[in-house]
Amino acid sequence: MSSRFCLEVAGPFACFTRPEMKVERVSYDVITPSAARAVFESILWKPAIRWRVQRIEVLRPIRFINLRRNEVSAVVSTRNVQQAMAAGTGTLGLYIEDERQQRAGYFLRDVAYRLHAELSLAPGCAEPLVKYTEMFTRRASKGQCVNQPYLGCREFAADFRLVTGDSAPATPIPDTRELGWMLHDLDFSRPSDPQPRFFNARMEQGVIDVPPFEEARG
C-alpha cells in the first residue's frame, strides 16, 4: 500500500555533485533521485515510512555556471567528540580562518523540477498509512518543513510547493539526452559502510523515469 505525491521545487543555484570528481565540485545535469528523496524527507521523515522517487520532470533549460566559493577544509573529528562526551569537557572548536580555502565549482543555475515520489510504510510497521499521508499533505500545502529543503548543497535552498489536481500544468523542457551513470542512492544495508548505487539515466522530452533501487548497480 502506498500514496503518491508531487512537489515542484526551484532555486537560483544547485549542485548535485558527481562522486568521480574529487577536487572540484561538478554537478550532474539534473537532480539525482537521492537529492529528490531528501527534499521529501525534509518535509516529513519518520522511521515508519519510506520515500521512493519514481519520476523527475525538468521544467527549465539545463544551464551551468562557474563559481568560486570559500569552504572549510576540515571537520571536527569524531574521536575528539567522543572523548569530550566521555570526559564531560573538551575543545571542539574549529577556527574557520585557519581552515578556509577557495574551491571552484561547476553548478546548475535557475533550476526547477517536478518530483514524483511514492510514500509507503516501512516493513513491519502496523500504523495506518493515511496518518502519514495527511501529515505530509498538511505540511507541504502550508510550506512547512522539518528543515529547509536544498538543492544538493545546504546553501542552495529550494522553494517548494505541493502539486495537486488543481495546480496549473507544467510542461517539461523539450530535451532528450543520455545522462550516463547517475547516483541513485546509498545502500545502507551496512550502516557503518554505506555504498553508492548507480543507474543509467536517460531524459526523454524533459522526463526521467527512475527505476527501483533494487535495479541500481554498485
* DSSP-derived secondary structure letter, 93: -
The pLDDT of 39-55, averaged and rounded, is 94
| Domain boundaries defined on the chain | 2-70+104-215
**What's domain 2-70+104-215's architecture?**
2-Layer Sandwich (3.30)
pLDDT, position 124: 83
Neighbours of 90 (CB within 10 A): 13
Q: Amino acid identity of 80?
A: N
Cell numbers representing residue 201 in the block: 539515466
pLDDT one-digit tens code per residue, 163-192: 998 888 899 999 999 999 999 999 988 888
- CB contact at 8 A, 29 and 61: no
pLDDT one-digit tens code per residue, 49-106: 999 999 999 999 999 999 887 777 677 777 877 887 887 777 777 777 676 777 788 9
Percentage of the residues of the chain whose pLDDT score is greater than 90: 63
Query: What confidence category does residue 8 fall into, taking pLDDT thresholds of 50, 70 and 90?
Result: very high
The pLDDT of 186-199, averaged and rounded, is 89
Query: What confidence category does residue 20 fall into, taking pLDDT thresholds of 50, 70 and 90?
Result: confident
- CB contact at 8 A, 151 and 11: yes
Query: What confidence category does residue 112 fall into, taking pLDDT thresholds of 50, 70 and 90?
Result: very high
- CB contact at 8 A, 187 and 209: no
Residue 141 has pLDDT above 80, yes or no: yes
pLDDT, position 81: 77
pLDDT, position 68: 82
| Euclidean distance between CA atoms 47 and 66, whole angstroms | 39
